[in-house]
Structure 1
Amino acid sequence: MRAIVGLWRWRGNPLCRRSDRREAWLALGAMILVVVVAPLAGWLGASAAHGALMKNAEEQQRGRHQVWATAESVQNRAPLGSDPESGSQQPERRHVVAHWAGPDGSSHKSTVTTQERVQPGERFRIWTDGDGTATRRPMSPETASSQAALAGLAAGAGAVGALEAARRLAMRQLLQRRYALWDAEWSRIGPDWGRTGSNN
């Protein structure tokens, strides 16, 4: 941005070099691309992620079911990283050895995790897939939308990072070319530096 302002301020100055103008145009082009490409990349990323996540959520809603399970034994475990003295406690998770019947009537037994207060012999609800295996709660449309928005933000940030990396690489090339021209010019006039008007 400073290069653009500097170019506009020095546009009629004979000391404004061609490399200065290139640097300013490069900064202007990068700024325009960031303004245009980053939101576009974010929108495209969010749209693609939303479609895929919504499809996944619909498949999970169709393929997962709640069934009644009977607890055999319960082991309470505090969440990792919880502070006993903090006011905001995460819900305590319980590992329950339980058995339940699958959709086809087959018997299943496994250790499941729940936040419900369950005692041995009590029944509680769990989620299972089509085979009757215990699984997680299906993704909700709200969760899919939130994750899609995060994916869009990540795509936009990635586009900005890629454009900034490309701008810095181009600036490095311009600086290297400028230094090479300075070296060539100094090699040409350096031996005669300070000899103007001398008798030698």
Structure 2
Amino acid sequence: MDRSRHMKKRLWRWRNNPLRRRHDILEAWIMLAVWAVTAVGGTVAGLVTAYAADEVFARQRAERHSVRAVLLNDVPRNVPADGATSDKTSARVRWTDPDGSAHTDTTLVDTGLNAGSRIVVWTDGRGEITAEPPSPTEAAVEAGTLATAAALAFAGLAFGTGTLARWGLDRRRIDQWGREWDLVGPQWGHKTG
């Protein structure tokens, strides 16, 4: 099929056609709106999400700092946790902030360490232990993943809304065909039986 015939076939709802109904035109506009909203809205949702995630990760990298801590107790190797072995377990550690204040808290450490071992922990702006912030590369990957998820969720919402609108139009068309058949059907001559 040549390209012009293919385009005419795809755009039949937009052409002047004696079989075209008002619902067909409305459906064509709905689908055009769905595609436009998906393209523009999905892009905007993805970009906004990526920017927001990148800001959060940058703030985490700025607020969190690594400090050297001392393990207070021995941590035996292969400590069972809920019936399974683990490479990490919870243990008490002590560290000193740059301002000289001492802190003690519990964090996950590798098993098999002895009391007095030096480990690195990450603290937030309040001096509490927190998770290590993502590196710029990890943050970029996670921001991209979140942006893609947001764009796909928005697209799903737009297509779902369009599908519901088309379903409503189909219901109206079926009801209209039923009413028209009730008027025309009895005029079609004799009945068998």
- TM-score normalized with structure 2 length: 0.72
Counterpart position of 1:187:
182
* Structure 2 stretches lacking a partner, 5+ long: 1-5
Counterpart position of 1:111:
106
Give me the whole-angstrom Cα distance separating, in 2, the residues matched to 1:103 and 1:16: 77
Counterpart position of 2:55:
51
Superposed counterparts of 1:148-187, under 5 Å: 148-187=143-182
CA RMSD of aligned residues (A): 3.5
Q: Deviations over 1:44-85 (max 9, x none)?
A: 22123322332333222xxx34123134120445799x9x9x
Question: Which residue identity is paired with 1:141?
Answer: P
Give me the whole-angstrom Cα distance separating, in 2, the residues matched to 1:48 and 1:8: 43
Counterpart position of 2:12:
8
Give me the whole-angstrom Cα distance separating, in 2, the residues matched to 1:48 and 1:56: 12
Give me the whole-angstrom Cα distance separating, in 2, the residues matched to 1:167 and 1:131: 48
Percent of residue pairs identical: 32
Q: Would you say 1:27 and 2:31 are equivalent positions? A: yes
Structure-2 change in CA distance of 1:65 and 1:7 (3 Å): closer
Q: Deviations over 1:11-58 (max 9, x none)?
A: 465334333333333333323332333223212221233223323332
Q: Secondary structure at the match of 2:116?
A: coil
Give me the whole-angstrom Cα distance separating, in 2, the residues matched to 1:172 and 1:77: 59
Aligned length, in residue pairs? 183
Give me the whole-angstrom Cα distance separating, in 2, the residues matched to 1:97 and 1:56: 24
Deviation at 1:126, TM superposition (A): 2.3
